[in-house]
């Protein structure tokens, strides 16, 4: 009878042991894959396609680290606990220092020039929320993307006293752009750098410490081939192509080579700082948020936006940037209020370290439309 009871207990314990082994195997496999990717990825060099998307999303691969560590402790598995700790340590070594930075208090957040970039998603609406977001940040210069005639006109009327200088590029689609400035603007122009691309803007800001070339940029989104079933927001990616964005980034680099003096480039670049396009541009300009921001500063998508192209309910990627030449040092940077947009703006404070130049006597641009 005793042997029968023991045999019965062993049989009843088998499902629990099998489940435990399956959980441990899955956890260890996941941790091994994530750590292996981190170790081997630098050896692969620049790659296109799926690996680019994997690079963009890599920080999220470390999110299960605390859960794996806790699960390992609960199951009495030293290996799984160590795997979770290794994942957490890898994330900490790569990005942890950025979470240790302290954002300056508002009253101490001084800078020579405050710049804001904002993809507004306001090409069909007036955008009352945009004025609140801009006023809250109180930048000296703000570059707007996906801004329509209604939204741009409303901001010009509402914020005219604070931003008397502006340049608008009209578009009936999401390709519109605008710049609002406390300081005079001149030599403004709008152009596209690729067929069906968004409008870009270039102008000179006559700042208190000299003329600054300013570009307001919106690169094309990578082409993601997905499954499509009716009106469902859930789509599985089938292919990832970033060539059209890369061509525009290379054009921007060529354009920058022809510019002398201080430069600021703001916009929605539809790339993350782990992309090779970011590395290309980093050879010419400095990413202000990467240098001075707290955390990863993910701007897209806004909480609850759940866009069809990237159905995530919370910010997972930083697509928005303020770049600057070596004439500036970033004092601070933070993610601003999104309002009703699916992007959060990025706001940075720059300190001037270049040689002061006298602005020219050109008549400032008050308003212009393309």
Judgement on whether residues 148 and 255 belong to the same structural domain of the protein: yes
Judgement on whether residues 161 and 201 belong to the same structural domain of the protein: yes
Last residue of a domain, one of 35, 66, 99: 99
Phi, psi angle pair for 287, to nearest 5°: -85, 110
Query: Is 365 inside a domain boundary?
Result: no
Position 335 pLDDT exceeds 50: yes
Average pLDDT for residues 350-360, to the nearest whole number? 68
Phi, psi angle pair for 323, to nearest 5°: -100, 155
| Interval 191-229: pLDDT, tens | 999 988 999 999 999 999 999 999 999 999 988 777 665
Position 359 pLDDT exceeds 50: no
Q: Which of residues 345 and 358 earns the better pLDDT score? A: 345
Last residue of a domain, one of 99, 118, 144: 99
Looking up residue 121, the CATH number of its domain turns out to be 3.60.10.10
| Interval 152-197: pLDDT, tens | 999 999 999 999 999 999 998 999 999 999 999 999 999 999 988 9
Judgement on whether residues 342 and 220 belong to the same structural domain of the protein: yes
Question: How far apart are the C-alpha atoms of 340 and 169, rounded to whole Å?
Answer: 21
State the average pLDDT for the chain: 89
Question: How far apart are the C-alpha atoms of 223 and 180, rounded to whole Å?
Answer: 31
Instruction: Give the strand pairing for 141-147 and 177-181.
Output: antiparallel
Report yes or no: 143 and 185 within 8 Å, Cβ to Cβ: no
Question: How far apart are the C-alpha atoms of 294 and 305, rounded to whole Å?
Answer: 23
Query: Is 361 inside a domain boundary?
Result: no
Angle between helices 50-57 and 2-44 (to 10 degrees): 110
Judgement on whether residues 248 and 153 belong to the same structural domain of the protein: yes
Judgement on whether residues 248 and 183 belong to the same structural domain of the protein: yes
Q: Compute how many other C-beta atoms are within 10 angstroms of the C-beta atom of residue 134.
A: 27
**Above pLDDT 90, what percent of the chain?**
74
Judgement on whether residues 51 and 129 belong to the same structural domain of the protein: no
Average pLDDT for residues 314-336, to the nearest whole number? 96
Question: How far apart are the C-alpha atoms of 50 and 77, rounded to whole Å?
Answer: 34
**Sign for the pseudo-dihedral over CA of 286, 200, 309, 196:** negative
| Interval 45-75: pLDDT, tens | 888 888 999 999 999 999 999 999 999 999 9
Instruction: Give the strand pairing for 286-287 and 320-324.
Output: antiparallel
Query: Is 114 inside a domain boundary?
Result: yes
Judgement on whether residues 190 and 316 belong to the same structural domain of the protein: yes
Query: Is 360 inside a domain boundary?
Result: no
C-alpha of 75 from chain center: 38
Domain count of the fold of the chain: 2
Query: Is 366 inside a domain boundary?
Result: no
Q: Which of residues 245 and 360 earns the better pLDDT score? A: 245
pLDDT of residue 234: 60
Judgement on whether residues 345 and 309 belong to the same structural domain of the protein: yes
pLDDT of residue 106: 67
Least confident piece of the model among 1-10, 243-252, 343-352: 1-10
**Above pLDDT 70, what percent of the chain?**
88
Q: For residue 6, give its domain range.
A: 2-99
Last residue of a domain, one of 72, 99, 126: 99
Residue 361: pLDDT band (50, 70, 90) is very low
Position 30 pLDDT exceeds 90: yes
Judgement on whether residues 7 and 123 belong to the same structural domain of the protein: no
* Token output for 152: 């741009």
| Interval 103-152: pLDDT, tens | 877 667 789 999 999 999 998 888 899 999 999 999 999 999 999 999 99
Judgement on whether residues 212 and 227 belong to the same structural domain of the protein: yes
Q: Compute how many other C-beta atoms are within 10 angstroms of the C-beta atom of residue 166.
A: 22
Judgement on whether residues 92 and 142 belong to the same structural domain of the protein: no
Position 356 pLDDT exceeds 60: no
Query: Is 362 inside a domain boundary?
Result: no
Question: How far apart are the C-alpha atoms of 267 and 272, rounded to whole Å?
Answer: 13
Judgement on whether residues 89 and 180 belong to the same structural domain of the protein: no
Peptide bond into 301 cis (omega under 30): yes
Instruction: Give the strand pairing for 210-218 and 263-268.
Output: parallel
Q: Classify each residue of 299-314 as buried b or exposed e, where b means 16 or more C-beta atoms within 10 Å of its C-beta.
A: bbbbeebeeeebeeee
pLDDT of residue 224: 75
């Amino acid at each position: 009878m005793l042997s029968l009871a023991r045999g019965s207990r062993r049989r009843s314990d088998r499902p629990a042991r099998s489940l435990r082994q399956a959980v441990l195997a899955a956890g260890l496999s996941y941790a091994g894959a994530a750590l292996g990717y981190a170790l081997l990825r630098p050896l692969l060099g620049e790659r296109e396609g799926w690996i680019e998307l994997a690079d963009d999303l890599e920080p999220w691969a470390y999110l299960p680290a605390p859960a794996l560590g806790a699960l390992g402790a609960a199951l009495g598995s030293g290996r799984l606990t160590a795997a979770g700790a290794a994942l957490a340590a890898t994330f900490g070594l790569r990005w942890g220092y950025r979470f240790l930075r302290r954002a300056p208090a508002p009253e101490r957040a001084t800078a020579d020039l405050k710049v804001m970039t904002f993809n507004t998603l306001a090409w069909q609406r007036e955008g009352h929320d945009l004025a609140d977001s801009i006023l809250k940040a109180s930048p000296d210069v703000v570059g707007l993307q996906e801004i329509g005639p209604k939204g741009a006109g409303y901001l010009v009327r509402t914020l005219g006293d604070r931003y008397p200088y502006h340049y608008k590029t009209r578009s009936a689609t999401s390709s519109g752009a605008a710049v609002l400035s406390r300081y005079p603007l001149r030599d403004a122009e709008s152009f596209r750098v690729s067929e069906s691309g968004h409008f870009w803007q270039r102008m000179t800001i006559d700042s208190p410490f000299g003329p600054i070339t300013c570009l307001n940029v919106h690169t094309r989104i990578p082409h993601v081939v997905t499954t499509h079933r009716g009106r469902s927001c859930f789509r599985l990616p089938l292919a990832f192509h970033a060539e059209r964005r890369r061509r525009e980034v290379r054009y921007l680099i060529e354009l920058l080579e022809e510019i002398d003096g201080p430069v600021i480039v703001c916009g929605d670049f539809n790339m993350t700082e782990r992309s090779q396009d970011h590395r290309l541009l980093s050879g010419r300009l400095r990413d202000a948020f990467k240098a001075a921001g707290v955390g990863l500063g993910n701007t897209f998508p806004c909480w609850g936006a759940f866009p069809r192209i990237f159905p995530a309910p919370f910010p997972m990627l930083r697509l928005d940037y303020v770049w600057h030449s070596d004439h500036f040092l970033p004092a601070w940077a933070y993610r601003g209020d999104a309002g009703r947009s699916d992007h959060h703006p990025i706001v940075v404070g720059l300190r001037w370290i270049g040689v002061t130049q006298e602005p020219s006597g050109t008549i400032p641009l008050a308003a212009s439309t393309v």
